[in-house]
Amino acid sequence: MYDTAKGTILNLIYMVENHGFVPNGVRVYYLSRSQPPLLTPMVYEYFLATGDVDFVQQVLPALEKEQTFWNLNRARSFLDPETKEELFQYYQYRAAMKFPRPESYREDRKG
């Protein structure tokens, strides 16, 4: 199963290298939507199971690239309501689109 897990991770790494993030799917209309940021935890779990340091070093640039996407596009600040001081940052998992999804056009138009 480790080979399968590694292959899945490499497939997702390919998406990050080409798009900067893991899209919701491999169709053009999914490029405005991302999967949750679970690639780094996947690599971590793979490393814990295999001890494959070389693999982690190989994919680290892509993990950093995906983290940059989340920092630039999905990071939000939680502010103290009284002082407006930033208490912490979090990542908002959302789609960056204002139109119905092509694969669910009819359902989205009704809502």
Residue with tokens 């190989």: 58
> Does the CA dihedral 22-23-27-32 come out positive or negative?
negative
Helices vs. strands in the chain: H and E counts, helices first: 4, 2
pLDDT tens across the length of the chain (111 residues): 999 999 999 999 999 999 999 998 888 878 888 888 999 999 999 999 999 999 999 999 999 999 999 999 989 999 999 999 999 999 887 776 777 777 777 887 775
Q: DSSP class of residue 80? A: P
pTM of the predicted model, to two decimals?
0.81
Backbone angles phi, psi at 33, to 5 degrees: -130, 140
Could you tell me how many residues make up the chain?
111
| CA 27 to chain centroid | 16
